[in-house]
Amino acid sequence: MHRSHRILGSLSAIAILFAASTASATTVQLSASKDNTLYQQASGTLSNGAGSFFFAGNSGANEIRRGLIAFDIASAVPAGATINSATLTLHMSQTTSGLQSVELHRASASWGEGTSDATGGEGGGAPSTTNDATWIHRMFNTVFWAAAGGDYAPAASATQGVLDTTFYSWTGSGVVTDVQSWLDTPANNFGWALTGNESIASTAKRFDSRQNAITTVRPVLTVNYSERVPAASPLASAILSIGLIAFGAAIVRRRRRSPGRRA
């Protein structure tokens, strides 16, 4: 190819690349915005909004415990971004049972986190306070769940086997779908409900909450997303193309006028 053609071709390619949009991937880690435990109880007078732990499974008295947790996606991920992956990581700090499956379900109604703070291992809960989520209340004591035990999708977004005390993660396409939905429609972001084995007694798993004194064991949601960088406007692209091509043509003319130079 003639050298002058190569120069003009390269400059045209630069203009095309400038005009095209690009996607950049970013990873962020979010702290929970709220969490709580639903203690199976007809009166709804137990909760643990400010506690250090939340639970999923059945107690020794064969009473169900369900966890609730939420993250403010829209505050950390730009609107319009595409969620590539999402992983919820929790630290399980106490158990009396063997391997149990813990499921993550998308909550379908808003709920609250009050100032209730259970003592000891916190498995028994504490007296509910204003706006606490309870077994029958979304927000104690005036707003109720449609169904006792919480409103959430029947199908699990992710399932994880939980055995001994350590960190566990829930991830996969269901979690990505949930997070993308919450980014696209923040008003419907009600977080997740965590359910354990509720068929027999003494299956509950205790997880460290966002209020836990040890910051390194608090819940974390890791999100990787791609944000599309807008392409240059047609006018800007045209001006750049004309300028680059004109610049290239000037270089070619100069090379041709230079003594002793061959094309």
At 228 the pLDDT is: 73
CATH of the domain at 182: 2.60.120
Residue 210 has pLDDT above 70, yes or no: yes
SS3 content of the chain, % helix, strand, coil (to 5): 25, 35, 40
DSSP 40: -
User: Any bridge partners for residue 147, and if so which?
Assistant: none
Both 156 and 169 in one domain: the answer is yes
Task: Let me know whether 112 and 14 are in one domain.
Answer: no
For the record, the structure tokens of 55 come out as 């639970």
- Specify whether 68 is located in the same domain as 180: yes
> Dihedral through CA 100, CA 101, CA 102, CA 107, nearest 10?
-140
Same domain, 128 and 210: yes
Q: Do residues 50 and 153 both lie within one domain?
A: yes
Q: Is residue 262 part of a domain?
A: no
The answer to whether residues 152 and 251 belong to one domain is no
Enclosing domain of residue 156: 23-229
Element at 123 (helix H, strand E) = none
Residue 10: pLDDT above 70?
A: no
Report the run of H or E that residue 249 belongs to, with start and end.
helix 234-257
Q: Please give the average per-residue pLDDT across 9-19, as a whole number.
A: 48
- Evaluate whether residue 48 is within a structural domain: yes
pTM of the model as a whole? 0.82
- For 124-174, the pLDDT digits (tens) are 999 999 999 999 999 999 999 999 999 999 999 999 999 999 999 999 999
The Cα–Cα gap between 204 and 95 comes to 7
Q: Is residue 263 part of a domain?
A: no
The tally of domains found in the chain comes to: 2
| Residue percentage of the chain with pLDDT more than 70 | 78
Do residues 206 and 167 share a domain? yes
Q: Are residues 178 and 104 in the same domain?
A: yes
Largest interatomic CA distance in the chain: 98
With 70 as the cut, is the pLDDT of residue 262 above it? no
User: Mind listing the pLDDT tens digit for each residue in 83-121?
Assistant: 999 999 999 999 999 999 999 999 999 999 999 999 999
Give the pLDDT band of residue 263 (cuts 50, 70, 90).
very low
Is there a single domain that holds both residue 76 and residue 152? yes
Shared-domain flag, residues 177 and 245:
no
Dist CA 190 CA 121 (whole Å): 27
Same domain, 147 and 224: yes
Residue 23: predicted pLDDT: 76
Average pLDDT, the chain: 88
Q: At residue 122, what are phi and psi to the nearest 5 degrees?
A: 75, 5
